[in-house]
């Protein structure tokens, strides 16, 4: 009996193994498959931190999709939580990046009303006034931000930058000493301090701060990176070690050494400074390639838009000067001064080797005199206002 059952089981398995996985109906066609179960992943929650990262990406790379994504994300955050300070800050920064400075200030004012103890809205409004050269308006917002508990190193860095732009070196020295006792790994604060040391004749200290920042890899701030590398460029000018500076730039920005270098707001100043160094070692073809790419990039829509990009406004004039196109360089420098550029103005003109061919030109001296006169007038008006 047992052998019969075993044989029957074997026959059944053989039949099942030779059958198709579906049986035809009367028409001889297979049945329709059951609908597939599909589980859609949940949509990402609105995230102001994501919007902030997208804005930083836009500021450095001029990627319009990143700016649009930041606007969308900020709007989603505020629809979910109309009292979100990070949401309002992201929206304001996006408006600023679009060069809609009045709208940006309105948004930052709203953020300040929501969080009256926060320093970030005041600092952001100050940046929009720095972008158009109204140093007194910027100072008013920085002074409003300073007593707030959240101000800290960022507010002090802003005040140091402003004091240097005003050439109020007494105030700048006080802020520099305050920062020097507290700054550790903050790229923006270290850059402001190194810039101040350079302006006030403490070149060795400026180099030392730059070395520390570069050794620690503090490259999260592209504008700070440009300051550190400018100081290292000028160290090479002082000691004649141009190749050392070129190799440092190759290490930090290998993309600038490609046959067709990609120029973005985050490396455009470094590209012009590298071109100067390449000219000193007679690599003039590579230098000209870089400078022409800088001019092409500068012409892109939005390349210099927004207060974060104020520091790169003179680079087109610098590139033209290094190409020997003096008249065009002077016209371009005058254009950005007309636009209100005052940030790091002495550092980027008289103290900048990229303009060495123009330093004695009467038109260049007139631009410098105009900047000196305007800044001195703003400084006097501010000091008179404080005294009264």
DSSP 8-state assignment for residue 200: T
Token pair belonging to 269: 């100043």
Token pair belonging to 179: 């920062």
Instruction: Report the distance separating Cα 81 and Cα 60, nearest Å.
Output: 29
Contact between 189 and 183 (Cβ < 8 Å): yes
Structural domains present in the chain = 49-150 (1.25.40.10), 151-217 (1.25.40), 221-388 (1.25.40)
Instruction: Report the distance separating Cα 75 and Cα 312, nearest Å.
Output: 29
Q: What is the largest CA-CA distance in the chain?
A: 119
Closest of 99, 108, 169, 197 to residue 144, by C-alpha: 108
Instruction: Report the distance separating Cα 158 and Cα 96, nearest Å.
Output: 17
Contact between 312 and 277 (Cβ < 8 Å): no
Closest of 155, 160, 166 to residue 346, by C-alpha: 166
Global pTM reads 0.87
Contact between 134 and 105 (Cβ < 8 Å): no
Per-residue pLDDT of the chain (388 residues; tens, 9 = 90+): 434 333 433 433 333 333 333 333 333 444 444 444 444 444 557 888 999 999 999 999 999 999 999 999 999 999 999 999 999 999 999 999 999 999 999 999 999 999 999 999 999 999 999 999 999 999 999 999 999 988 889 999 999 999 999 999 999 999 999 999 999 899 999 999 999 999 999 999 999 999 999 999 886 689 999 999 999 999 999 999 999 999 999 999 999 999 999 999 999 999 999 999 999 999 999 999 999 999 999 999 999 999 999 999 999 999 999 999 999 999 999 999 999 999 999 999 999 999 999 999 999 999 999 999 999 999 999 988 776 6
- Which residue in this structure is represented by tokens 């920005």? 253
DSSP code string of 41-61:
PPPPPP-HHHHHHHHHHHHHH
Contact between 104 and 96 (Cβ < 8 Å): yes
Residues 6+ apart with CB under 8 A from 244: 236
Closest of 120, 186, 131, 184 to residue 162, by C-alpha: 131
Instruction: Report the distance separating Cα 233 and Cα 315, nearest Å.
Output: 16
- Which residue in this structure is represented by tokens 């061919």? 357
DSSP 8-state assignment for residue 19: S
């Amino acid at each position: 009996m047992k052998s019969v059952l075993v044989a029957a089981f074997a026959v059944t398995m053989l039949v099942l193994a030779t059958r198709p996985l579906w049986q035809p109906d009367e028409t001889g066609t297979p049945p329709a498959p059951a609908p597939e179960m599909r589980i859609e992943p949940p949509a990402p929650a609105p995230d102001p931190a994501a919007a902030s990262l997208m804005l930083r990406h836009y500021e450095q790379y001029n990627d319009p999709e990143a700016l649009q994504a930041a606007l969308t994300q900020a709007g989603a955050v505020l629809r979910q939580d109309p009292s979100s300070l990070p949401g309002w800050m992201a929206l304001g920064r996006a408006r600023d990046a679009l060069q809609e400075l009045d709208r940006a200030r309105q948004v930052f004012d709203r953020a300040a009303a929501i969080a009256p103890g926060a320093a970030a809205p005041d600092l952001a409004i100050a940046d929009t006034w720095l972008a158009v050269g109204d140093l007194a308006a910027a100072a008013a917002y920085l002074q409003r931000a300073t007593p707030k508990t959240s101000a800290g190193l960022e507010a002090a860095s802003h005040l140091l930058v402003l004091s240097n732009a005003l050439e109020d070196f007494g105030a700048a020295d006080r802020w520099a000493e305050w920062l020097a006792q507290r700054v550790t790994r903050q790229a923006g604060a270290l850059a402001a301090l190194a810039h101040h040391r350079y302006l006030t004749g403490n070149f060795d200290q400026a180099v030392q701060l730059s070395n520390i920042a570069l050794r620690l890899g503090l490259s999260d701030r592209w504008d700070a990176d440009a300051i550190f590398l400018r100081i290292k460029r000028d160290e090479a000018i002082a000691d004649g070690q141009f190749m050392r500076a070129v190799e440092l730039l190759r290490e930090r920005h290998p993309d600038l050494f490609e046959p067709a270098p990609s120029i973005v707001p985050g490396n455009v100043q470094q590209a012009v400074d590298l071109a100067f160094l390449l000219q000193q070692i007679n690599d003039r073809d590579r230098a000209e390639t870089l400078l022409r790419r800088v001019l092409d990039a500068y012409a892109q829509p939005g390349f210099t838009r927004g207060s974060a990009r104020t520091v790169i406004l003179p680079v087109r004039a610098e590139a033209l000067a290094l190409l020997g196109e003096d008249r065009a360089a002077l016209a371009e420098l005058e254009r950005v001064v007309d636009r209100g550029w005052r940030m790091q103005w002495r550092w980027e003109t008289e103290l900048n080797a990229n303009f060495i061919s123009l330093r004695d030109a009467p038109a260049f001296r007139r631009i410098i005199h105009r900047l000196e006169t305007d800044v001195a007038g703003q400084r006097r008006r501010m000091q008179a206002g404080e005294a009264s």
